[in-house]
């Protein structure tokens, strides 16, 4: 059996006339972290949604943990099995939690779906998970609106890892947070990977973030992969014009926006 947790080959997605993703192929080895980089509209979020089964590919194939994913109707049992292979954390920590559901219940619901635990065991495990993402017991009885954006994103991560998936897709998971909180969440993700050997697919437009978290990166533009390789090499010495432009677009100290000629 191959040691790839994800094998995507020739992925394609059309929305009506528009082609969002075109001939995208990549693999992800167990315990590795792959970044998918690109600007808005490059198709990277569509790739993430296809990986977790929220969109059906128009063409190409996806295998997760060596099992091919087929589209169409899927039984509940099969969906739960797939859930234990791959999970996702979304960009917006405000809308990715039900505003009426208490934090402890968010994690407990996730556990109840996948593990035969008694209520007391489930409660204890939920608190362990909250602790693992840097939250305290008192947060369990709170509603999402009582937490900050960073704390909510920790809850979303706890909910995802509660299932103990092989792969975690992070769709711009730190983009909505400010820089110091970003660093905390990235450290947390690194810790989790070290402890559990989970693999990440890190969808981002932010090269600094990508640099911290990923071993390999693919660069997407207009739905296609334009460049791929080791993240460090890619960022230090981008070959493709698009990647160079993407790198050059990052604001740095001393950076001045180029002004257009006044009309």
Partner 1 sequence: MTAVATRVRGTLGRFSPSRAARALGIPGVAAAALIAVVLTVTLLAPVLAPYDPDQPDLFNSLAGSSAAHPLGGDALGRDVLSRLMWGARTTLSGPVLIICLSTVVGTALAVTAAWAGGKVDAVVSRLLDVLFAVPGIVFALITVAVLGPGVTGVVLGLAVAYTPYVARVVRSAALRERNMPYVAAAWVQGRSAFAICVRHLLPNLRPIIVAQSVSALGFAVIDLAAISFLGLGVQPPTADWGLMVKSGLDSATRGQPLEALGAGLLIVLVVAAVIVLGDRLGKEGDQR
Instruction: Note the residues at the interface with partner 1 (CB under 8 A).
Output: 52-54, 76, 79-83, 86-88, 90-92, 95-101, 109-110, 113-114, 138, 141-143, 146, 156, 159-160, 163
Q: Alpha carbon of 229 to those of 19, 194, 234: distances in Å? A: 24, 22, 6
* Nearest to partner 1 of 79, 236 (CB atom): 79
State in angstroms the smallest separation of the CB of 23 from partner 1. Answer: 25
State in angstroms the smallest separation of the CB of 242 from partner 1. Answer: 29
Rounded to whole angstroms, the Cα distance separating 171 from 45 reads 7
Other residues' Cβ atoms within 10 Å of the Cβ of residue 118: 8
* Nearest to partner 1 of 28, 217 (CB atom): 28
State in angstroms the smallest separation of the CB of 134 from partner 1. Answer: 17
State in angstroms the smallest separation of the CB of 27 from partner 1. Answer: 21
* Nearest to partner 1 of 69, 228 (CB atom): 69
* Nearest to partner 1 of 114, 125 (CB atom): 114
Q: What is the dihedral of CA 129, 134, 140, 143, to 10 degrees?
A: -120
* Nearest to partner 1 of 114, 193 (CB atom): 114
* Nearest to partner 1 of 143, 208 (CB atom): 143
State in angstroms the smallest separation of the CB of 162 from partner 1. Answer: 9
Identify the CA nearest to 62 among candidates 36, 89, 24.
Answer: 24
Strand order from edge to edge, sheet including 67-68: 18-29, 4-15, 59-64, 67-68
State in angstroms the smallest separation of the CB of 174 from partner 1. Answer: 15
User: Going along the chain, which residue ranges are E strands?
Assistant: 4-15, 18-29, 33-37, 59-64, 67-68, 86-89, 167-171, 199-204, 216-221, 224-230
Rounded to whole angstroms, the Cα distance separating 129 from 103 reads 11
């Amino acid at each position: 059996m191959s040691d790839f947790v994800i094998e995507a080959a020739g992925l394609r997605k059309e929305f009506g006339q528009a082609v969002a993703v075109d001939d995208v192929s990549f693999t992800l080895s167990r315990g590795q972290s792959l970044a998918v980089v690109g600007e808005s509209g490059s198709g990277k979020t569509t790739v993430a949604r296809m990986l977790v089964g929220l969109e059906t590919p128009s063409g190409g194939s996806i295998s997760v943990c060596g099992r091919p994913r087929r589209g169409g109707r899927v039984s509940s049992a099969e969906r739960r099995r797939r859930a234990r292979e791959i999970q996702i954390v979304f960009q917006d920590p405000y809308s990715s939690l039900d505003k009426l559901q208490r934090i402890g219940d968010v994690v407990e619901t996730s556990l109840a779906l996948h593990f035969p635990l008694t209520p007391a065991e489930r409660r204890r495990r939920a608190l362990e998970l909250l602790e693992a993402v840097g939250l305290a017991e008192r947060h369990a009885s709170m509603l999402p609106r009582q937490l900050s954006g960073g704390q909510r994103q920790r809850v979303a991560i706890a909910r995802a890892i509660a299932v103990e998936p092989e792969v975690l897709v992070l769709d711009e998971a730190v983009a909505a947070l400010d820089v110091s909180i970003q660093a905390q969440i990235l450290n947390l993700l690194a810790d989790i990977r070290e402890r559990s050997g989970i693999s990440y697919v890190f969808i981002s437009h932010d090269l600094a973030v990508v640099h911290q978290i990923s071993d390999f990166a693919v660069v997407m533009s207009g739905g296609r992969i334009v460049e791929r390789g080791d993240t460090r090499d890619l960022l230090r010495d981008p070959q493709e014009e698009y990647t160079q432009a993407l790198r050059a677009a990052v604001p740095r100290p001393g950076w001045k926006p180029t002004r257009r000629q006044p009309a």
